[in-house]
Structure 1
Amino acid sequence: MSMRTNNAGIQLLHHFENCRLTAYLCPARVWTIGWGNTRYEDGTPVRQGDTITQQRADQLFSNILRTFEQGVARLVRAQLNSNQFSALVSFAYNVGLGGFQRSQLLKRVNANPSDPAIRQKFLNWTKAGGIRSNGLIRRRNAEADLYFNPVIR
């Protein structure tokens, strides 16, 4: 059974993505809808003028999130706790699985998931459309905080 994003990870994603039921251009100039989705389940890109219901936004989020969970599980070879996994899913959800796959963050995690330098690797991804974003700085810090927060059993 593969890992799933925990409640802290879902709350983090919802906090930073916000939910918008009408398509909008994100800071990276990509049409986005719902909980930060740029595509629908079939790969069709979100287009200007698209609208969805809250129920559809939540369904789309769950379906797309599963794709990112599977991608992170496939790329990470190290053993992770649920906070580490959830933080990486949030990161990949934002930068894409290709960005995650090419990142120094993934390389560090696979080499040693306890390496304190991992925090800086999150913070290397704070630009949207080539411009440093305060929102992305806050998000990367929150993801790193979740990553390094021990899981209480």
Structure 2
Amino acid sequence: MKISNNGINLIKKFEGLELKAYKDSVGILTIGYGHTHGVKAGDVITGQQADAFLREDVHVAELAVNANVKVKLTQGQFDALVSFIFNLGAGNFVKSTLLKKLNAGDYAGAADEFGKWVNAGGKLLPGLVKRRAAEREAFNS
């Protein structure tokens, strides 16, 4: 499967667009729509470059869903999982109870797991609460 425009828009909404490198909530250098690979202090990109980075990063998240999810998914479920992985990384997803429940066919239980991933750097972040709620809603759509 591939992410839909709704999924891309979900990611863009919560990542926001920054054309100049900055440190995220846990101190990682970030640019564009949450792109972190190879970012250096002082980097500046264009909107077109930000979109290209987003496509690359989303592709990695798509691969993680397609390789690890063993049950059928709706487009909304796929989009939600790609957004989740985009934000948290494939390693967290692969080890998650969310994936275990999903692969056991417990879709409702998997949906309930989104709300447990709302901390960064040991702190509850309101932005992550909103993002996980939106991902859960997409998952259940």
Question: Normalization by structure 1: what TM-score?
Answer: 0.89
- Does the 8 Å contact 2:102/2:109 carry over to 1? no
CA deviation vs aligned residue, 1:15-72 (integer Å, no higher than 9, x gap): 0001101011110111100000111xxxxx3121111111111111111111110111
For the residues of structure 2 that align with 1:61 and 1:113, how far apart are their CA atoms?
A: 30
Give the aligned length.
141
Unmatched runs of 5 consecutive residues or more in structure 2: none
**2:113 pairs with 93, 118, 121, which one?**
121
SS at match of 1:50: coil
CA deviation vs aligned residue, 1:98-130 (integer Å, no higher than 9, x gap): 01111111111111153x222321011000111
SS at match of 2:41: coil
* 2:48 counterpart residue number: 55
Letter in 1 for 2:85: A
For the residues of structure 1 that align with 2:31 and 2:106, how far apart are their CA atoms?
A: 33
* 1:147 counterpart residue number: 139
1:97 and 2:85 aligned: no
Root-mean-square deviation (Å): 1.0
Query: What does 1:1-153 correspond to in 2, within 5 Å?
Result: 3-39=1-37, 45-114=38-107, 116-149=108-141
SS at match of 2:30: strand
Identity %: 39
* 1:42 counterpart residue number: none
Unmatched runs of 5 consecutive residues or more in structure 1: 40-44
- Does the 8 Å contact 1:78/1:113 carry over to 2? no
